[in-house]
Chain A
């Protein structure tokens, strides 16, 4: 499984996530909704872990628990050796070691792209403003964003916006990037460009990536591993190793191994989607 490309990368030692027996029950006005059911996932440092599952199964819920946006009902979540949440603190503290890239994007529209990217370090206050802006500019240049520094997010294409948001996340030197279907709204051509761009960024800044998606092709192209979730309440249903070596480019999409993995995953995903659909029919 360890191929040439992978061995060339420096070893990532930080950013392992361990989800242990996490349960999340939403209880607005007594109508308990179980979103996550005794879910355990181990993600080694530096892995791109793709979470695939039917609509409404509880993927965002799990991501929000890691990010610290809401509490869990029971269970533990660890980042390396640090317990983010457990029996004593059910809600993790949000922190710059875990940055979320949201489904609809959350760049601040009133700040220019450069100011957006500088936001995290400015809040941290360790570096001077000019050091931060220099770093931001060079990160933008690396990501092919030169020339858009002084534009507002609303003035650039949605593909560029996504890239700005990823660079903004990376400026915080996170251990983990949490993606909640960031490319859902993009057309498939832009998407393929974004995938290669994301991998390129990843090869330069190895972090752990927790990536939620509906799109199997995206999942297999990007991921070291696919975790296919059951319909709600969510827990891992099947884990698929993507033994295609990194660095990858779009040519792997047509490789026979890609097709094989796709076929293996498709059956499970379809089955769960059908369960979710049937459950929805019963409820609705």
Chain B
């Protein structure tokens, strides 16, 4: 039987108010240690002001084979982008 510490995914929020972003993973015995390790491994240069850790086993992911059905429908909907609409310059910033 493996005695390996479980794997955790690490998410860090940087200084500028952006979302927590996935930065990598690490092994730790529990959540508390995972946060301590994440601080040493992923924030040695002020990269973050907040850390989330999640057991890797708790993450559900979409399958690569679902890429088409999931994401292709958005490709044809170009009217969802502002650039789709031609608006005269005269009316000012819009």
**Chains A and B bind each other:** no
